[in-house]
Amino acid sequence: MKRPLFLMVSSLCLVSAPLYAETHTVKKVIDGDTIILDNGKKVRLLGTNTPELAKNGKPPEALSQQATEFTRQQIEGKEIRLEFDESKAADHNRDTKGRLLAYVWYKEKTSNDPADQEKMLNKELIQKGYASALTKHPFKYSEEFKQRESEAQKKKKGIWEKESKFSS
């Protein structure tokens, strides 16, 4: 009897353990919330939605160029760390289009601190008003994303400056 109980407890520990992270270089920024890695895989920033660039004959949405350029300036050609969320583990951390879903961490040198400071791009996009928070389904940072979105709305940053499809 002890052995099956041990196996069951061991299995539970494995399920609740934090998921791994990967380090890659960003080969290309597709748009504000989608990138291609050095290994060719596409990554969609989890919990964010930036305005869409022109696609399939549709005009670009407001601030889509700015959101894309911000993402490009922060991470294109640079090393990043992908953090995966336990809430997406059942889907192998992929969306319906097969893209990896992840939090993207990058290092930024600050003028005040000679050391590198790690930042999460997902949060930065929301905080600066370049993205809305996608929080329909809970995930690790959903409450923080909601809070940052609320702050951006109050300050009328980016997509929240004027009425848009992102406005409530």
Residues annotated as catalytic (active site), given as ranges: 44, 52, 99
What region, left, alpha or beta, does residue 82 occupy, with left being phi > 0 and alpha being psi -120 to 50 degrees? beta
E strand residue ranges, 9-91:
21-31, 34-37, 42-45, 48-49, 79-83
Strand-pairing partners, residue 26, are: 37, 76
**HEC letters along 63-90:** CHHHHHHHHHHHHECCEEEEECCHHHHH
Residue from 104, 107, 159 nearest 128 by CA: 159
With 0-12 CB in 10 A as exposed, 13-18 as middle and 19+ as buried, what is 167? exposed
Rounded CA-CA distance 41/34 in Å is 11
3-class DSSP assignment, residue 70: helix
